[in-house]
Amino acid sequence: MKTLLAAIIALCATSSIASASGWRTYRIPESGTTVDIPASIFAEPAGKPDGYGQQFRSSDGSADLTVQAIENRQGLSPAEFLASKNPPTGIIYKRISSNFFVVSSIKRDKIWYNRCNFARGYVHCVLINYPAAQKRRWDAVVTRISHSLRGG
């Protein structure tokens, strides 16, 4: 009975994040960057990143999202751009193509996820940090954010 109750509670918690209502498209006018964000989760502005965009934080402070566009004046490739940022060691997942990169790992009990698309003279990025213990709860949210990222 305890196992069943725990499973039901876990399922309810998972669905509350995975089906986060209140999705909206966030747009950076200067670069044409657009991305779907769950406004019901990331409702609080938390500062400005380098370049253009906005940082958001969850109401409980356990997760944050940065939507960012940086001019790519040097015409760096995704691999060159990533290398120039001196990414931390211990990257668990890395995929680099001719027009985007994705990197992810765990640091201090949080998963950090970074995707950057390269288009029209800009690097269009989303950076998401969330509790590693809640990975399964966040998978659908991170996937939707990542797949919705567009540039210009």
Which pLDDT value is given to residue 2? 39
Q: Per-residue DSSP letters for 54-95? A: EEEE-TTSS-EEEEEEEE-TT---HHHHHHHT-PPS--SEEE
Task: Please report, for the chain, the start and end positions of each structural domain, with discontinuous segments joined by +.
Answer: 2-148
The domain made up of 2-148 has a fold known as Protein Transport Mog1p; Chain A (3.40.1000)
Which pLDDT value is given to residue 21? 65
Residue closest to 65 by CA, chosen among 94, 92, 98, 26: 26
Q: What is the C-alpha separation between 136 and 143, in angstroms, rounded?
A: 11
Task: Give me the tens of pLDDT residue by residue for the chain, a chain 152 residues long.
Answer: 433 333 333 334 433 444 456 999 999 999 999 999 999 999 889 999 999 999 999 999 999 999 999 999 999 999 999 999 988 889 999 999 999 999 999 999 999 999 999 998 999 999 999 999 999 999 999 999 999 999 97
Which pLDDT value is given to residue 18? 43
